[in-house]
Structures are given as C-alpha cells and as structure tokens.
Amino acid sequence: MRILLVEDDARIRADVAAALEAHHYLVDVARDGEDAWFKGDTEDYGAAVLDLGLPGMDGLSVLKRWRANGRDFPVLVLTARGTWSERVEGIDSGADDYLPKPFAMEELLARLRAILRRRAGHASTIVRIGDITVDTRLMRVSRNGVPLALSPQEFRLVSYLVHNAGRVVPQQELAEQLHAEHYERESNAVEVLVGRVRRKLGAGVIETHRGFGYSIVAGS
C-alpha cells in the first residue's frame, strides 16, 4: 500500500519513512505543502501522514484542498501543536485521526492501521476472508491456520485486496499501490505477481475480471 508522508523535518521524515517501509508500506514523501497538495491530488494513495506545520501551504489547507477535490484517502495528521481547537479544526477539515508530537513510532503505526481498518470496515488488526487470515500488525497471511511465506510485495498485494474485499480492484490501481513512485513498471508486473501469490494461496482465492482487474474471494 502506498502512503504519502508529508513532513518538513528531515529527521522525523526519515524515521517515519523507515518505520513505514519496515512494515511493508511503500512511501512517497513531500517536504512542503505545495508538493503535498499536488501529489495527493494526482496520485492514488492508500493513506497519508500529514504534518500541519509545513512551509508554503500549511497542512490544514492541503487537507481542505484534497477533500474539496474529492480525494478521500485516510489522513493521519501530525502536529507539534496540540490544542483542542486545532484538533477539532483538523478533524472538521477531513482528518481521520490526530497525533501530537512527540509521538512513539508504534503509536503512529497503530493509528495508521486503525484508520485503514475503519476505511475498510474492519474492527480488528486480524482480517478474515473465508479461510484466508491477514494479520496487519504482524504482517502475516495464513490459510486454514497455516502461515504462508510471502515476500513484502506479495503481502502488500494480499493485504490490499483483502482491505478492498467486495469490489474489483483495477490493475492500474494495484500497480500504483505495489510499486514506488518512480519505479519503472513492466506492463505485466501485476499479472506475474498475482500468479506467484495464487500458487501460494491456492486456486480460486484471487479472481481475474478480464478488462477490469482482480478481486479476492472467500476460500473454501
């Protein structure tokens, strides 16, 4: 899943990016408000981690512009200012959660998982689709209770499809969620990845909808 990280502090940006990547997220970064607004308005992200105190355009203005343009990905707001009025304004502007600085990295990761679960309609870090279980905290996939050996990219594919269960995910959307911003994507990269995952999950779990994309179905 691609995450947009918007943070002008180089140390915080590097630490958060490293933590997200260690948990198998793909991370694009923006260092100022204008860049953040443009990337969030033109790219498809699973979520954004957005600092409010940005040079140029402030974070609240970025968030308001995203929402005004129909960009509805979950947003976790970070700020060094923690007044209740600012938190209310952030949530009213479309933030899904709010984390004041300084913060523990595990809390940021937990809050990010929580807003992603809420957006997908799940209440737990463990998501089940039939006999497929995805543990988003431990980054583990199992079938019928048997853990599967998946690469980080294979895990991202299964996790994204599970979080979007009930709809067909277009191939282009999957490609954008599975590859970094400047990655040179081969035309059949998603098909090859789906083929690898099918061999590990078993037949009938990932369905191909020709001309539309892929969906995950309850295993039997």
Which residue, among 33, 83, 31, 88, has the nearest Cα to 63 in the 3D structure?
A: 33
What does pLDDT average to over the chain? 87
Q: How confident is the model at residue 104, as a pLDDT?
A: 94
pLDDT tens figures, 119-143 = 776 667 788 888 888 888 888 899 8
User: Under a CB-based contact definition with an 8 Å cutoff, are residues 219 and 141 in contact?
Assistant: no
Q: How confident is the model at residue 220, as a pLDDT?
A: 45
User: Under a CB-based contact definition with an 8 Å cutoff, are residues 143 and 131 in contact?
Assistant: yes
What domains can you pick out in the chain, each with its CATH number?
2-120 (3.40.50.2300), 126-216 (1.10.10.10)
Greater confidence (129 vs 70) lies with: 70
Provide the whole-model pTM.
0.69
Q: How confident is the model at residue 38, as a pLDDT?
A: 95
- The band of 215, judged by pLDDT with boundaries at 50, 70 and 90, is very high
